[in-house]
Amino acid sequence: MGDAQQNENELIDMKKKLIITGKKVHDIGYRPYLLGLAESMEIERFFVDNIFLNDKQIVYALVDSSEEKVDSFVEIASSKYPEKSGVDKVEVEDYKGNVMKIESFYRYLTAMQLSKIANYGGKMLDKQEKTLEMQEKTLYKQDL
């Protein structure tokens, strides 16, 4: 393919939605994995999120870039998965809506991950407090 043809193809934007379903696609780093993949391919617009549908774990991703980049992203994301994932299927659909800039998604994902960490941290502190209370009761009983 000549340079003029290649440049023309890169100007054609393509939007796709990937729907990744499986036994284990949440809480294994799937979103950062796909973000890293998109970043390595210089995808300009990207979004990914976790959802549940009919009690099934789903990761859906939106990509918007040149046809060549989107095709490469779809090919890799449909065949290579994060370690410890349990993917049953990857569906790909055309997408018509807006997709946020990848830089904005970085900020969004960071905020979501920090929120998750704060939530888990609060739960850990509650468990620690309950454990210490039980330990004090046990020590009190031993002293008697």
List 89's β-bridge partners, or say none. Answer: 21
Higher pLDDT, 19 or 110: 19
Are 25 and 62 spatial neighbours (Cβ–Cβ below 8 Å)?
no
Label residue 112 by pLDDT band (50, 70, 90).
confident
Label residue 55 by pLDDT band (50, 70, 90).
confident
The pTM score is 0.74
DSSP-derived letter for residue 52 is: E
Tell me the H-state helices in 1-144: 3-11, 30-40, 67-77, 102-143
What percent of the chain has a predicted confidence (pLDDT) above 70?
Answer: 92
pLDDT of residue 50 exceeding 50: yes
The rounded distance, in Å, linking the Cα atoms of 64 and 26 is 23
Question: Cα dist. 105→81, 83, 99, 122, 125 in Å?
Answer: 20, 23, 9, 26, 30
